[in-house]
Amino acid sequence: MIIDCHGHYTTAPVPHNEWRQSQLMAFREGGRTPDYPAISDDEIRESIEHNQLRLLRERGADMTIFSPRASAMAHHEGDERVSGEWARACNDLIARVVGLFPSTFIGVCQLPQSPGAALKSSAAELERCVAELGFVGCNLNPDPSGGKWTAPPLTDRYWYPIFEKMVELDVPAMVHVSSSGNPAFHATGAHYINADTTAFMQFIQGDLFADFPDLRLVIPHGGGAVPYHWGRYRGLADMLKKPSLSEHVMKNVFFDTCVYHQPGIDLLFEVIDVDNILFGSEMVGAVRGIDPGTGYYFDDTKRYVDALGLPAADAALVYSGNARRVYPRLDNALRARGL
């Protein structure tokens, strides 16, 4: 079985996205949030069947851990109330996708974060999504300000309410920023990779996993710049008098394979232990074109992993075993189906 740990609903029906614009306009004008539109099952089916489902079948994957569009979370827009309304609408839509395609998608939720806001509402929405919608994890934005980086490091006690709820529910988070409100940071080309790298360095500097030894966090996009600068981070951990990265961070942190060229995947697997790598494509996501050098889509990451020629046991870990271990509620759901 091949499980893609990183998929977003980037093809949501037009009325959903139009409602978001109306919601933000109402906020700016001091008006009432409009009613959410009626979206038919057929609209959802069409948005999925011609996009994610088609590509999954063409590329040979079986299931996607599916979440709302990351760049549209936009926690820096509106306020805590607006973010709460938007998160609930997005998560309910994901639940409808999962209900229509239960063998192919399983949900991960967006949190109603807002700059400076406490995380009580985020913990409550996570619990709702897990307990009521059957979701298996969440996306956690380390920078709700959209590129201004006003939030404290992920090791700060500010984040503990959501970490406590994650441990209680036994679910992981993917550390994933949203769109950038800072023109100096292109969203997917700079802000995303900056955040991945920044989060990892924060984990080195702090002692988060001493307080939460069972916490599990996935850093997407191949870990940002981390594998490429692994020696730097090993050296910094040593200078900071921290334990080795394998003890201090890597029992709790995992990377995906959303790296869009073969040399990058080769490096990821050369540097990072196979137990810490989850197959992911980010499809349909940040890069949608065809690589003229190969003739295949940049985000067809399974081709790169296949080309590694991994031993069967290692390939099984990357393609499904690690995801099932990091997302135990996914594993339980699959076991209940005899898988």
**19, 294 in Cβ contact below 8 A?**
no
Please say if 125 is a catalytic residue. no
**What's CA 250's distance to the chain center, in Å?**
18
Per-residue b/e over 152-187, b at no fewer than 16 CB within 10 Å?
ebbbeeebebbbebbeebebbbbbbbbbbebeebeb
Find the catalytic residue in 77, 80, 125, 282. 282
Q: Which stretches within the chain are classed as H helix? A: 14-29, 41-49, 52-59, 80-100, 120-133, 160-169, 192-205, 208-211, 230-239, 245-248, 262-271, 301-307, 312-316, 322-326, 328-336
Which among 327, 279, 338 is positioned nearest to 7, based on CA atoms? Answer: 279
CA–CA dist 263, 183 (Å, integer): 30
Within its chain, how far is the Cα of 195 from the centroid? 12
- Residue for token pair 């921290």: 242
Rounded CA-CA distance 250/276 in Å is 7
Is the link from the previous residue into 274 a cis peptide, with omega within 30 of 0? Answer: no
Q: φ and ψ at 305, to 5 degrees?
A: -65, -45
- Residues marked active site are found at 282
